[in-house]
Structure 1
Amino acid sequence: MQQIYTVGIYFFSFLVKVYSFLNGKTRKIVDGHVSTWEILENVDSEAFIWFHVASLGEFEQGRPLIESLKSQYPNQKVLITFFSPSGYEIKKDYKYADLVLYLPFDTPENARRFLSKISIKVAVFIKYEFWFNYLNELQNQNIPIIYVSSLFRRGQFYFKSDWMLDIFKRVNHFFVQNEESKLILSSYGIHNATVAGDTRIDSVLLTAKEKWLEKKIEKVLDGRPVVVFGSTWKGDHSLLVSFINKHSSKYQYIIAPHEVDKKGITDLENSIEYTVSLYTVSDELTDVIIIDSIGVLKYIYRYADVAYIGGGFNHGIHNTLEPLSYGIPVLFGPKNYMKFAEAQKIVQLDLGSLVNSANFNKKLELYLDSKQLRNTVKQKVEKYIENNKGATLKVVDMFKSIL
């Protein structure tokens, strides 16, 4: 299996390099790998705690742990690696990290080279980041490995590979999000697991408490209900544009597309029949605001009375916990929502609603028009958050035995 997996990685890396000539985002990955090797030639010899995350969402899962460890061990060096440019570009200057890099592709040669250039005290992988050749090399060098906020489902392919299963069995500890994941690991003879919950809940609480205000937005808000459409795709835009065009000045609207390319923003702007303002361009904002930059959506939600999370009519929904941390109802489309435990809880506990193209307007109106309903949801959300926070503390306790 190792040979098949590794050949697949080589083939994937070849495709990425070819595609990088056509796509700027992919080019950043290739250039980032080159930069990683250059930086590692002159890296500090002191041992690092290494956190690897896929992108910005996984970074947010690791963030409360990183900041907690840095507060308790301020002299401890921290390395963060990303796979995706959308995470790296936003967090490359993150103040709690001593070094932020792209992680080169998961080949045996890259793993050996990477770990020969930098001293690692413990490696922390967030959620689904199973880089098996790196894991294998870490284990060959007796470097502790911890997984945080992992989720497992029956039938996943890595449980069918003796090589991958053996690597899992040698991971020092898995902090999983739910009891089902722990039971699945146990059924394969992996007993070094703890149900800690989702560190993202701690992360979104940190964000919600941060001091952040945007005077331009505050100036235009006049007491009418505000809906924030967050991380939206084209599949969402036809619905939200229809809603805006129908309701005009009854509500106020903030739209944060997942992709902020110029053409996509222009197409969205032109499809709305009312005056639209761009967040980074307009000095005076209007009732319809398009957020044409990345990194502020998690703060923008604090101005919302209701949030609609995009992706549910395309690839699958995005982060629902960010808006939930502000105690507001969260709505989303049907695509792949069952893969997300927090989305299931939103439906089960009436913290918002699952919508489709037929009931989109009706559901959105229901929450926007009823302050009493929104207050009821807020109370339920606060209870849910209170019952599920604290995963970070459980993980930090494990680190105390390592550091």
Structure 2
Amino acid sequence: MKIRSFSGKTKVRNLAASTNVFFYGKGYFCEVMRHIYSFFIALFQALLPVLGLFSSKLKEFRSVRKPVFSYLESKINGSDRLIWVHAASLGEYEQAVPVLEALRVEYPKHKILLTFFSPSGYTIKKDTPLADIVTYLPLDTKSNANTFINCLSPELVLFVKYEFWPNYLEKLKRNNIHTILISGVFRESQPFFKFYGSWMKKSLKAFNYFFLQNESSLKNLKKLGFANGEVSGDTRFDRVSRQLDYNNTLEFIAEFKQDKLLLVCGSTWPEDEANLLDFINSKADVKIVLAPHKINAEKIEDFRSRLNKKVILYSELQSKNLQKADVLIIDAIGFLTKIYAYADLAYVGGAAGNTGLHNVLEPATFGLPILTGTHIEKFPEAGQLNRLAALFTVKTPEETSAVLEKLISDKNFREKTGIISGQFVSQNTGATRSIINYLKNQTLTA
């Protein structure tokens, strides 16, 4: 039996053929996944009228998006120069605020369109003066993406943090529209880094530039094959640092606090309140403000019934003696940021359970020691404050009481910890300036 040998050239040809098959197969897989994604998004949109019969949330989801295109047509004409900023929810909006303010100054002749995906952002900020048009983002179907972007013809698009909608991004790329990501975050847990989500990497080609929050995000972006990015930081630092320049006066808080130490428990959930309950009931000579994340009268009354202190609600200020109260529960929205200005220490809710940690930068900017629950792994700013010993994570009521007792009894420790918090914020500002400087060097003119 004769064994046939292959020449070097034949080996190279076979290797090249194998490589081509591999990349063809990979490309085919990506296209199939894109079509599957688009099919199911379109199917979901088509089924919304029926699904809405069984879910009030889905009914609302459809109804608020139904008039978007007619609304845009009434607000935009052919001569408008448009900048589109998209924020998923209220948290991303807060990150966008300093950039929106700067865009207003640098590009006064442009209209600014602000879109939200979540009602928590749109409902609260639909009348913001920082945008000319505020609306929901339609679902990411190919048809919606084409209609939406053709209607807008924006000169510039800014997506906030990690909003990646493949069909919108594909259309932006196809139309050669300058698109950037601000306060971006890339983690290895995201679909881009998984075999099933590798097809989404192509969407990232729509971004002309990435402004990222930290070095790990830049490192992960490079793993995906993109070098067009930089670490500019989180624009939330710019947002919260400006609070120091605003008028933070709240006379009812000054009257409540008097000359005592004030602990502010912000954006709390039931899990947080369970951690705080023993301390509140046992500690004298400390005033406590509790601002629940959700204003639910029944749950507030339930928590109030478990307190053995003199408690007053914000809604009762007109009928009760505020000075004699030990605990003030804020059953209203819009006060928390200013209340932190009066605090001596803060507890920030959301990390005792799985709802997600709320904004720790707001109390940090006022130079406060901070306590949270233990689930902070997805919140890099909390992790950094924790490593700097300016933020303490607590898991149980006993741990919560112990840390608070230490901060209250040791003035030196409390003040040094607060200084670290304040410096952390002030040293991390400047992301907005980096973004605006970049835009000035691009083709967008004022």
TM range (shorter): over 0.9
Question: How do residues 112-127 of structure 1 correspond to structure 2 at under 5 angstroms?
Answer: 112-127=146-161
Q: Work out whether residues 330 and 352 of structure 1, in 8 Å CA contact, stay in contact via their aligned partners in 2.
A: yes
Give the AA of the match of 2:386.
V
Match of 2:331 in 1: 292
Query: Is the 1:229–1:255 Cα contact (8 Å) retained in structure 2?
Result: yes
Are 2:345 and 1:306 aligned? Answer: yes
Q: In structure 2, what residue type is equivalent to 1:208?
A: L
Distance between the aligned counterparts of 1:239 and 1:138, measured in 2? 47
- Which residue of structure 2 lines up, in the alignment, with residue 236 of structure 1? 272
Once the 2 structures are TM-superposed, how far is the Cα of residue 170 of structure 1 from its aligned partner?
Answer: 3.3
SS at match of 1:130: coil
Q: Equivalent residue for 2:373?
A: 333
Matches within 5 A, 1:1-400: 1-10=33-42, 28-45=60-77, 46-159=80-193, 160=195, 161-247=197-283, 249-283=284-318, 284=320, 285=322, 286-315=325-354, 316-335=356-375, 337-357=376-396, 358-400=398-440
Query: 2-side partners of 1:72 and 1:172: how far apart?
Result: 20
Label 1:31 to 1:75 Cα distance change in 2 as closer, same or farther (>3 A). same
SS at the partner of 2:377? helix
SS in 1 for 2:331: coil
> Which whole-Å CA distance do the structure 1 matches of 2:330 and 2:217 have between them?
37
Q: Is the 8 A contact 1:367 1:374 kept in 2?
A: yes
Contact 1:29 1:102 in 2 (8 A): no
**Shift of residue 364, structure 1, vs aligned partner:** 1.4
Indicate if the aligned counterparts of 1:255 and 1:290 stay in contact, CA closer than 8 A. Answer: yes
**Count of paired positions:** 401
Deviation of the 1:94 alpha carbon? 0.9
- Residues 113 and 131, structure 2, Cα contact 8 Å, conserved in 1: yes
How far has the Cα of 1:134 moved from its partner? 1.1
Look up the SS of the partner of 1:255 in the other structure.
strand
Task: Please give the alpha-carbon distance, in whole angstroms, between the structure 2 residues aligned to 1:27 and 1:301.
Answer: 38
Greater shift, 2-11 or 51-60, is seen at 2-11
Asked whether the 8 Å contact 1:185–1:191 carries over to 2, the reply is: yes
Whole-angstrom CA distance in 2 between matches of 1:256 and 1:18: 38
| Percentage of identical aligned residues | 38
Gaps of 5+ in 2: 1-32
- Which amino acid in 2 is paired with 1:257? P
Residue pair 2:364, 2:422 contacting (<8 A) in 1 also? no
CA contact (8 A) 2:385 2:424 kept: no
Cα distance in 1 for partners of 2:339, 2:58 equals: 28
CA distance in 1, matches of 2:285, 2:428: 36
The offset of 1:293, in angstroms, is 2.1
Report the TM-score when normalising by structure 2.
Answer: 0.84
Rounded to whole Å, the distance in 2 between the matches of 1:21 and 1:399 is: 46
CA contact (8 A) 1:53 1:59 kept: yes
Q: CA shift at 1:81, angstroms?
A: 0.8
CA contact (8 A) 1:43 1:117 kept: no
Which secondary structure does the structure 1 equivalent of 2:341 belong to?
helix
Q: Is the 8 A contact 1:244 1:272 kept in 2?
A: yes
Tell me the distance in 2 between the aligned counterparts of 1:388 and 1:348.
15
Following TM superposition, by how much is the alpha carbon of 1:369 offset from its aligned partner in structure 2, in angstroms? 2.6
Deviation, structure 1 residue 149: 0.7
Note closer, same or farther for the CA distance 1:19–1:279 as it changes in structure 2 (3 Å cut).
farther
Shift of 1:320: 0.9
Question: Partners of 1:221 and 1:122 in 2: how far apart?
Answer: 47
Structure 1: how far apart are the matches of 2:276 and 2:50? 36
Secondary structure of 1:227's aligned partner:
strand
5+ long unaligned stretches in structure 1? none
Q: 1:212 Cα deviation (Å)? A: 2.8
What SS does structure 2 have at the residue aligned with 1:191? coil
Larger radius of gyration: 2
Amino acid aligned to 1:317:
L
Supply the RMSD in Å over aligned alpha carbons.
2.2
**Cα distance in structure 2, aligned partners of 1:338 and 1:178:** 14
Aligned residue for 2:120, secondary structure, equals: helix
Q: Is the Cα–Cα contact under 8 Å of residues 45 and 139 in structure 2 kept in the other structure?
A: yes
